[in-house]
Amino acid sequence: MLSELKERKVRFFSSTSGLKRSAIGLVIAAMTVVCLIFVIKEINGKAEAWWWVEEPRNVIFFHPDGFGLSHWNSLRFYLAGPDGRLNWDKLPYMAPYTGHMKDAVTASSHGGATTHAFGVKVARDSFGLDGHEEITALSGKNKSIMKEAIEYGFATGLIGTGCLTEPGTAVFVASVKERGMREEIARQVIESGVPVILSGGERWLLPKGVIGRHGEGRREDGVNLIDRAKELGYTVVFTRDELMEVRDTADKVLGVFASGHTFNDKREEILRAEGLPLFVPGSPTMAEMSEVALEILSRNPKAAQNGIFLVAEHEGTDNFGNNANAKGSFEAGKRADEAFGVFIRFIEEKPNTLLITTADSTAGGKHILGEDREGMGRFLVGGMTGSADINSDTVGRYVRAPLDGIDGAGTFHFMAAPDKNDRSWPFVVAWATRHDLAGGVVVRAKGLNAEMVTQKGVVDNTDIYRIMYYTLFGEKL
């Protein structure tokens, strides 16, 4: 009964009510511990009112950076087969995404993240600011949605496979004039008050000359943020095993799992030559970080009182694409999809949870070529991946570019997982560019208020903020 009241709206025709953003009543349900808040807001000259149930509610924003629709479709062929389905496919509400910035069609990672965190269009080169200027968020406050959530009393978390200074998570609590101000970004993240922070980035937490668990620090200011985190009450862990040891006991955790990223974002040929794995040994997967973060946050008294707000990012889904590394892109996508499995199980246990996901661009424009076995001969040389026409030059001649196989250019082609008839087909990967591209990005959602995604038809990057804000605070912006 109470859940039905959440979306029930009553409209009043008035242009002079003046009751903008005013809460005018509070009813305490006699047989429950939740509050029903009656809100009236003037919209386009009409006062609109709705009931919103104030009870613990959770928001998980998962950002597999750079993974557009073509990436997910390619991953499905590779992992589940043409007729199979991924965990990502279990999110029932979806819509196209528009991610343009105030001054550009294609978003940057830091500009796109800023819009997600503040709900307004900003300059492309922005990190928690609009260029170099302070932002007034869509809510009317000079703070991000996570800072509002912290102030309100939510249990909060920031987790990612990238460096702690990566904007997909950091911009929710840090604002600087230049993306390269990593020392200051790291300081603001550590001092943000977020109780669960899991990522890489040890080099920006230690002074130059200090050797940490993963290598030497790079800070020029002499500040040791590992020591500062301990002063603030964090249990600091450096490996997957150490994280698992504290998952049942610690309430405030800083996980630092690599010097930089928890993956090696280089081209396959370079990784092979240097003998490097795709991911840093001993670091937890995205799914493991997600599971532990939700366990720790669920024990937090704030979760029982208000709820959880978790921002998660897989950075490898972007960086491997930007390095035209098909093998790495598939592995990062697989790990992102495993995290979706964790989030979906959490929603099944706690239905009052919104899971919303998108990217801000598509890294490299990854697509697959997979014709029948005879047709595939056009793209193979001696059984190994060859090249394909990509675009024409200034005199109209097609220019060919290498195609990716299982370990880069000139290696054996990929095989899709079996279809429903137990047949598997070959394919190769084609990249449009090494840069981030606009278009081809979708928003998907599951759980509390997820239908708002489909109702919008097209979801703008500012709408990510709107949907999260309504779910957390009950205010439609």
CATH of the domain at 184: 3.40.720.10
Q: Is residue 222 domain-shared with residue 169, that is, in the same domain?
A: yes
| pLDDT at position 134 over 90 | yes
Evaluate whether 262 touches 214 at the Cβ level (below 8 Å).
Answer: no
Average pLDDT, the chain: 90
166 and 209 both lie in a single domain: yes
106 and 94 in a single domain? The answer is: yes
Residue 51 has a pLDDT of: 44
Question: For residue 444, what are the contacts with CB-CB under 8 A and spacing of at least 6?
Answer: 88, 91, 93, 94, 356, 357, 358, 453
* In a shared domain, residues 234 and 316: yes
Residues 64 and 49 in one domain: no
Q: Is the pLDDT of residue 79 over 70?
A: yes
Per-residue pLDDT reduced to its tens digit, 360-374 = 999 999 999 999 888
Residue whose structure tokens are 């149930």:
53
- Is it the case that residue 379 has pLDDT exceeding 60? yes
Q: Identify which has the larger pLDDT, 55 or 322.
A: 322
| Same domain (yes/no): 27, 99 | no
pLDDT above 70 covers a percentage of the chain that reads 89
* Rounded-to-integer distance, Cα 29 and Cα 35, Å: 6
Is the pLDDT reported for residue 25 higher than 90?
no
Task: Look up residue 437 and give its two tokens.
Answer: 């591209």
Tens of pLDDT, residues 405-419: 999 999 999 999 999
Q: How far is CA 311 from CA 5, 61, 117, 157, 248, in A?
A: 28, 5, 10, 6, 21
Closest to 118 (Cα-Cα) out of 140, 102, 101? 140
- Mark whether 144 and 244 lie in a shared domain: yes
Whole-Å CA distances, 175 to 50, 389, 473: 34, 43, 23
Higher pLDDT, 28 or 149: 149
C-alpha 460/C-alpha 13 separation (Å) is 29
Residues 32 and 167 in one domain: no
Residues 34 and 121 in one domain: no
Number of domains in the chain: 3
Q: What integer pLDDT is reported at residue 152 of this predicted model?
A: 97
User: pLDDT tens digit string along 310-331?
Assistant: 999 999 999 999 999 999 999 9
Check pLDDT > 90 for residue 30: no
Residues spanned by the domain of 426: 367-430
* Residue 285 shares a structural domain with residue 190: yes
Does residue 42 have a pLDDT over 50? Answer: no
Same-domain status, 19 and 151: no
pLDDT surpasses 70 at 29: no
Same domain, 458 and 317: yes
The alpha carbon dihedral of 142, 143, 149, 152 has a sign of negative
Q: What is the mean pLDDT of residues 2-13?
A: 33
pLDDT, residue 314, reads 98
Residue 53: predicted pLDDT: 53
